[in-house]
């Protein structure tokens, strides 16, 4: 597979799963302590990737939990954010200025700060109260945030399938490799078809809305300098649909949670008005060793494994490295 290091992938994913004992200890601390709310604080992709976990709490728990954009949160924090709050951060590099500023802000309010990163020596790891260290380069959000959220809800009696989920996560590194293999030729075909396409329309709902937002902004826009529209499937029929034309490239992200009928409706409409519709359906990918019970929660990870193949093939056919930037961390702002 293009630009795919199997050993690196497995090491990174296994390092995320191996954090479970530490995460369960933190969940016990939150559950047994004075804490009354939780905030997933992010910037860009780390905010978008936290949205599924906000949703998990909102649909299953009475415990207040929010995903917030850190820089805005500093200027307009919740009145309830303080010494009995938990602030969770993730950073692959551990050097993102916005996130470091948010950690300082959270600590100034007395909140318990928890961070996931891959480098013990970075400023991020040194700033948080509790640091969870992954293999360098591992995406620090999905598995650790899901483990923390599910275990805390389990302790509260609001999530009954935690033990099954733990077994599923153990199988996930190898399962996602199988997903990547299956998706690679699809990603290659998409890239070859869209070498000259400069605009894409993306839609998703439920646990996949955060990934839809992330892929549009962080990959197609930031890493490929392509124009996009991203809209939640429930909002699709309230304005953005007017941008559709027969040759509009549309990417639809279909998950496996209760919001899927919203995307079925979008797909039925879009395929009538565009001849260039790509459906990424997580239900179409096998996850060896993973139960059906928790697939909805794992949909962002499935979609990420699929779209990683799209990204690398796009970068190749467009001769545009995924590491190339014009402004981000290049100029002052």
What DSSP assignment string belongs to 23-44? HHHHHHHHHHSS--EEEEEEST
Q: Which band of pLDDT confidence, cut at 50, 70 and 90, is reported for residue 213?
A: very high
Average pLDDT, integer, range 282-311: 97
Report pLDDT digits (tens) over 106-141.
999 999 999 999 999 999 999 999 999 999 999 999
Q: What is the pLDDT of residue 74?
A: 97
Architecture of domain 6-160: 3-Layer(aba) Sandwich (3.40)
Phi/psi region, residue 7 (left: phi>0; alpha: psi -120 to 50; beta: rest), is alpha
Q: What is the pLDDT of residue 51?
A: 98
Q: What is the pLDDT of residue 13?
A: 97
User: Taking a C-beta distance cutoff of 8 angstroms, is the pair 47, 217 a contact?
Assistant: no
Superfamily of domain 195-317 in CATH is Glucose-6-phosphate isomerase like protein; domain 1 (3.40.50.10490)
Q: What is the pLDDT of residue 126?
A: 95
Sheet with 130-133, edge to edge strand ranges: 65-69, 37-42, 85-90, 112-117, 130-133
Residue spans of the domains in the chain: they are 6-160, 195-317
- The residue with tokens 């490799």 is 177
Average pLDDT, integer, range 25-35: 98
Q: What is the pLDDT of residue 93?
A: 86
Average pLDDT, integer, range 30-38: 97
């Amino acid at each position: 597979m293009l630009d795919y290091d199997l050993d690196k992938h497995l090491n990174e994913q296994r390092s995320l799963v191996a954090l479970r004992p530490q995460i369960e200890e933190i969940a016990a601390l939150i559950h047994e302590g004075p804490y009354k709310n939780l905030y997933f604080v992010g910037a860009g992709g780390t905010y978008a990737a936290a949205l599924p976990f906000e949703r998990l709490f909102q649909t299953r728990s009475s415990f207040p939990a929010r995903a917030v954009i850190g820089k805005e949160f500093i200027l307009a924090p919740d009145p309830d954010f303080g010494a009995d709050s938990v602030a969770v951060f993730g950073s692959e590099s551990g050097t993102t200025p916005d996130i470091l500023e948010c950690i300082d802000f959270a600590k100034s309010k007395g909140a318990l700060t928890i961070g996931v990163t891959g480098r013990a020596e970075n400023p991020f790891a040194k700033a948080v109260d509790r640091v969870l260290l992954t293999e360098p380069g591992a995406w620090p959000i999905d598995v650790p945030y899901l483990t923390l959220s599910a275990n805390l809800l389990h302790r509260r009696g609001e999530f009954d399938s935690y033990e099954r989920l733990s077994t599923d996560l153990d199988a996930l590194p190898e399962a996602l490799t199988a997903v990547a293999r299956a998706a690679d030729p699809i990603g290659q075909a998409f890239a070859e078809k869209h070498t000259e396409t400069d605009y894409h329309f993306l839609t998703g709902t439920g646990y996949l809305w955060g990934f839809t937002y992330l892929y549009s902004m962080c990959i197609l826009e930031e890493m490929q300098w392509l124009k996009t529209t991203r809209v939640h499937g429930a909002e699709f029929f309230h304005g953005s649909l007017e941008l559709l034309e027969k040759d509009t490239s549309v990417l639809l992200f279909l998950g496996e949670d209760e919001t899927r009928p919203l995307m079925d409706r979008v797909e039925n409409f879009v395929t009538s008005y565009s001849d260039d519709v790509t459906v990424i359906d997580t239900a179409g990918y096998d996850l060896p060793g993973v139960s059906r019970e928790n697939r909805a929660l794992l949909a962002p990870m499935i979609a990420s494994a699929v779209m990683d193949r799209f990204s690398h093939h796009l970068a190749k056919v467009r001769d545009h490295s995924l590491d190339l930037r014009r402004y981000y961390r290049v100029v002052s702002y």
